[in-house]
């Protein structure tokens, strides 16, 4: 089992300490778990320029793709991803937000359907629950099959000491994360995930090659059997969710005619 740890904090503080505790619990589940670490603070990733190249032409045209692509490849190579980032002002810090902004195109063109995630965050007071939920939702939007959260109120800015309660919670979360990856079971997506997935699927027809505002979305959804399915083929989808997804697919086709996203050519 291979697990990638992405550190979205600017230093190795409270959240990193908790992350290392989770790592210990995962190694207790199996000493054969292999870990790789990426520290966003060391990558010198410039701020997202908002140029929309990733949407229009494809993410390889991002001016910072030489950095972003390496992270994307590492996610692909691993079975699970732990995203570790502190909570600032009830949300993820700027370093993490900048990384997420660079991958915004994946909400339109998701992947990583066989990956499992875990988001870890601490805060001095309140808000970790909100930030971990937000990040987990983003990862599911990228295609992650399942994403667990571990929000902890450290009641400390720089001297966090894990309580017995926090240790039990961390151990239980680590075990669930490990067992889910180990099982290789793929869970059906929630209705909240099926809605944007199928809206973009339906709207893609107005962005295909040779259309007035062709984008990479148009090319992406035409590939393989994506247009024929309410979700990716490797993920089991009960019939009622297929019907639900296809309903929003049809809605997307109708909506698209009235809200074409333009760009300067």
Interatomic CA distance for residues 215 and 194, integer angstroms: 22
Gyration radius of the chain over CA positions: 19
The rounded Cα 133 to chain-centroid distance in angstroms is 11
DSSP conformational letter for 190: P
| Cβ-based neighbour number of residue 208 at 10 Å | 14
pLDDT given for residue 257 in this prediction:
87
User: What domains does the chain contain, in order, with CATH numbers?
Assistant: 2-183 (3.40.50.360), 191-256 (no CATH)
Kindly tell me if the per-residue pLDDT of 264 is higher than 90.
Answer: no
Coil, helix or strand at residue 116: strand
| Beta bridge mates, 7 | 39, 84
Q: How far is CA 27 from CA 154, 180, 198, 242, in A?
A: 24, 15, 39, 38
Residue whose C-alpha is closest to residue 134's, from 145, 125, 147: 147
Kindly tell me if the per-residue pLDDT of 129 is higher than 90.
Answer: yes
The pTM score is: 0.95
pLDDT digit string, tens, across residues 187-232:
999 999 999 999 999 999 999 999 999 999 999 999 989 999 999 9
Query: Tokens 């965050």 sit at which residue?
Result: 121
Task: Please answer whether residues 111 and 142 qualify as being in contact, where contact means their C-beta atoms are separated by less than 8 angstroms.
Answer: yes
pLDDT digit string, tens, across residues 77-108:
999 999 999 999 999 999 999 999 999 999 99
């Amino acid at each position: 089992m291979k697990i990638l740890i992405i550190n979205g904090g600017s230093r190795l503080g409270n959240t990193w300490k908790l992350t290392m505790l989770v790592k210990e619990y995962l190694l207790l589940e199996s000493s054969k778990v292999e870990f790789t670490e990426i520290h966003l603070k060391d990558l010198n990733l410039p701020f997202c320029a908002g140029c929309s190249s990733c949407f229009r032409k494809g993410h390889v045209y991002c001016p910072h793709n030489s950095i972003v692509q390496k992270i994307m490849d590492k996610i692909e190579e691993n079975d699970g991803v732990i995203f570790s980032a502190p909570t600032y002002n009830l949300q993820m810090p700027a370093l993490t937000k900048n990384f997420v902004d660079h991958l915004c195109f994946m909400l339109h063109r998701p992947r990583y359907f066989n990956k499992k995630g875990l988001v870890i965050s601490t805060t001095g007071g309140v808000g970790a629950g909100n930030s971990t939920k937000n990040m987990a939702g983003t990862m599911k939007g990228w295609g992650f099959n399942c994403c667990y959260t571990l929000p902890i109120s450290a009641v400390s800015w720089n001297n966090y000491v894990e309580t017995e309660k926090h240790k039990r919670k961390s151990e239980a979360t680590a075990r669930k994360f490990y067992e889910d990856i180990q099982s290789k079971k793929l869970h059906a997506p929630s209705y909240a995930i099926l809605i944007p997935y199928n809206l973009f699927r339906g709207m893609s027809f107005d962005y295909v090659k040779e259309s007035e505002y062709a984008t990479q979305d148009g090319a992406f959804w035409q590939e393989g059997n994506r247009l024929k399915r309410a979700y990716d083929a490797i993920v089991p989808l009960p019939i009622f969710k297929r019907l639900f997804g296809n309903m929003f697919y049809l809605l997307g086709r109708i909506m698209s005619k009235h809200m074409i996203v333009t760009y300067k050519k």
